[in-house]
Structure 1
Amino acid sequence: MQNTHRNPLTGPLAALLAVAVLGGGWWWMEAGPPAPAAVPEAAEEVLPLPPEPPRVADSPDYEACLAQLRDDAQGALRVAEAWEARGGGDGARHCSALAMLALGEPERAAARLEALAGRAAVGPTARAAVFGQAGQAWMVAGQAVRAYGAFTLALALTPADPELLVDRAIAAGILGRLADSLADTERALAVDGTRVEALVYHAAALRRLDRVQEAMRDVERALALEPGSPEALLERGILRQLQGDTAGARADWESVVAGSPDSAAADMAEQNLALNAAGPARR
């Protein structure tokens, strides 16, 4: 009936790094817990949606509503709300929550997604995926505690899901729970040792624990797997800066900006380049 493959909102590095930028660069700048993320105006920009959301229903109306989200989130919300009023059930509730997220209402969307995941009459994998969507929406809303809780509920259903483990590791990092962050990224890497995002976030946690050499090994491994990874280059630049290699740091950050100019990593790299030019190293 349903597609139970988990697809995060845009993947942990795309969506959650975007939160890092919107929320003040919590992960790479170590500025403490983030302020609530700025949310775009619905009329100007919509937030990204999953390429293939987990299915909680099986009906043509549900598929049509999900398809409409791509180009007309406001219209999809109207359709979903009218459908829910007619008894559309979980499919209508899921589509309306995703539309709210796309329209810049992450807190409202997160609460609805979390409630839906708790009661949906689908298998554990699909429920875990919806809990994961709720967690990512809480992240966009700047509520890391709620996000951590949602990811934990998801992992109770699918304990070995490496994407969920990375997501929860990021939330733990925001909250300063670095040991928990390391543990989750290590669990993710035990499932799949080639996951670049897990290596990068593991490295970032190690750096914050002043374990710079170990962090550098993780980043070099990530770059061996994906040489152009903007997130890995961003992190390596920070590590190089900490080691006194200002030129190397600048080269990495400039590579991020040149190679992935529209990415959240590029935004962070530009901030770091500005700090680098302005004065002493900041981590």
Structure 2
Amino acid sequence: MRIRLPLLLATGLALAAAAGSVAWQAREDAELPDTIVVAQVPEATAEPTPETLPLPPEIPRIADGPDYDRCLTLLRNDPHEAMRFAEAWDATGGGDGSRHCIALAMIGLGEAERAAERLERLGNGSRAGGIARAQVFSQAAQAWMIAGDANRAYGAVTIALTLAPNDTEMLVDRSVILAALRRFSEALEDLDAALALEPERAEAWVLRAAALRRLDRVDQAFEAVERALTLAPDNAEGLLERGILRQLRGDIAAAQVDWRRAISVAPDSMAADLAQQNLELSEMGPARR
């Protein structure tokens, strides 16, 4: 799904992604010191661009053939043309391939809810293997997240995981969706399962830290983010998260170091934007009321 913006968000919810990890920085204002700014769960994207299509480096395939290859290629640069091609192909019996391409093009054209419904129908009706169908349901989940319906996204990704229970990407994706639903304990369970399969996955350690923080388990959260930054020292989301945790521990100077580093390593990212806001607020001192 790559809600963190790698499949549907592919780029991150986005599911994710990618939006996913940053989305977990959300926390109720009343629970935070005055000098912390955190991201909110992303809202539906009204009109995705080609950059926000659910296209990972290698698009999961539910069909084969030159027409399918051409349609998937068009999706990356021109969803309008991909839609025209897929509809014409579908009218001549394109089958699963044309239906898949139509659904993905719909996301790029701002019709995420319709796309999600089509992807679910395709996943239910296709005769493709379980792994391919799981990927289609995973894409449906990302489309639901873009449409702003985390409950439907959870249902779709759970079906995906029944078909591919050891898929690390889907476990991480579902953890992000569960976080959007404020079901942090369940999100933590999915992250633990993902890390049991892939213990060197830095992104999952960052998400685990955020989930633990949301459960008020700050010391364990700090251990998790330290593990993430050992694996990936320049992970901007990890630096943002550690800065928040350091702020919660009262170490503002160390938090500022992390936030400056996040800005330096990924200046155009959402993590950098949030780090900049936190940095500016922390330099102003506690808000007066």
Scaled by the length of structure 2, what TM-score is found? 0.85
Q: Deviations over 1:243-283 (max 9, x none)?
A: 111122222122222211222322332343344356549xx
Aligned residue number for residue 139 of structure 1: 145
Aligned residue number for residue 3 of structure 1: none
Matched, 1:94 2:93: no
Aligned residue number for residue 80 of structure 1: 86
Aligned residue number for residue 30 of structure 1: 27
Aligned residue number for residue 47 of structure 1: 52
Residues of 1 paired with 2:229 and 2:99: CA distance? 41
Query: How many residues were matched structurally?
Result: 270
Structure 1 residue 20, shift from structure 2 partner: 5.8
Residues of 2 paired with 1:252 and 1:14: CA distance? 24
Structure 1 residue 210, shift from structure 2 partner: 0.9
In 2 relative to 1, CA 20–54 (structure 1 residues): closer, same or farther, beyond 3 Å? closer
Matched, 1:117 2:123: yes
Q: Deviations over 1:114-144 (max 9, x none)?
A: 2211111111111111111111121222211
Matched, 1:256 2:262: yes
Q: 2:76 aligns with which of 60, 65, 70?
A: 70
Gaps of 5+ in 1: 1-6
Is contact 2:13–2:19 with CA below 8 Å preserved after alignment? Answer: no
Is contact 2:112–2:146 with CA below 8 Å preserved after alignment? Answer: yes
Residues of 2 paired with 1:66 and 1:28: CA distance? 34
Residues of 2 paired with 1:186 and 1:192: CA distance? 10
Scaled by the length of structure 1, what TM-score is found? 0.87
Is contact 2:13–2:142 with CA below 8 Å preserved after alignment? Answer: no
Cα RMSD over matched residues?
A: 2.4
In 2 relative to 1, CA 279–77 (structure 1 residues): closer, same or farther, beyond 3 Å? farther
Q: Deviations over 1:67-97 (max 9, x none)?
A: 1112211111111112112221110111111
Aligned residue number for residue 211 of structure 1: 217
Aligned residue number for residue 245 of structure 1: 251
In 2 relative to 1, CA 161–233 (structure 1 residues): closer, same or farther, beyond 3 Å? same
Aligned residue number for residue 16 of structure 2: 16
Alignment-mate amino acid for residue 16 of structure 1: A
Identity %: 53
Residues of 1 paired with 2:187 and 2:24: CA distance? 12
Alignment-mate amino acid for residue 46 of structure 2: V
Aligned residue number for residue 170 of structure 1: 176
Alignment-mate amino acid for residue 27 of structure 1: W
Residues of 1 paired with 2:159 and 2:166: CA distance? 13
Alignment-mate amino acid for residue 152 of structure 2: R
Q: What are the residue-to-residue correspondences of 1:151-166 with 2, within 5 Å? A: 151-166=157-172
Residues of 1 paired with 2:182 and 2:278: CA distance? 21
In 2 relative to 1, CA 114–264 (structure 1 residues): closer, same or farther, beyond 3 Å? farther
